[in-house]
Amino acid sequence: MAHLFHHKEKKEESEYSNEYGSGYAEQTTVVEDDYEKYNKEEKSHKHKEHLGEMGALAAGAFALYEKHEAKKDPEHAHRHKIEEEIAAVAAVGSGGYAFHEHHEKKEAHKQAEEYDGGEKKHHGFFG
């Protein structure tokens, strides 16, 4: 659940105020606590991690497809080999991005725990 606090800033009454209002919009500021900020950050990194995983999967599948095409179409085998290697590099890069986002997600989770109270919840028999 989101806990957002709206603090209304009071405006001085001006000479332009009448029964329809003061002519100025009421300003509100949203204050978001750090725990929720870290949870949003963790959720964002989790989403990006999944995108990286899907990119690695798609690029890997395309590399396998091009490898198959190189065997199936010997006339254009060189082109398929080049495309296979490019797809393999893209798969490795995407996997590296997913790995990076996984560690960013863990860091955001640790920061949220520290802000929340610092106690880790253990889900085992001996924890």
Q: How far apart are CA 47 and CA 53, in angstroms?
A: 10
Contacts by 76-79, CB closer than 8 A, 24 or more apart: none
Q: How far apart are CA 97 and CA 44, in angstroms?
A: 14
Query: What per-residue confidence (pLDDT) applies to 113?
Result: 85
Cα 42–43–46 angle (5° rounding)? 85
In this structure, how many other beta carbons lie within 10 angstroms of the beta carbon of residue 69? 16
And the tokens for 51? 């995108």
Question: What mean pLDDT, rounded, does the chain reach?
Answer: 81
pTM over 0.75: no
How do residues 51-110 score in pLDDT, each as one tens digit?
Answer: 999 999 999 999 999 999 999 999 999 999 999 999 999 999 999 999 999 999 999 999
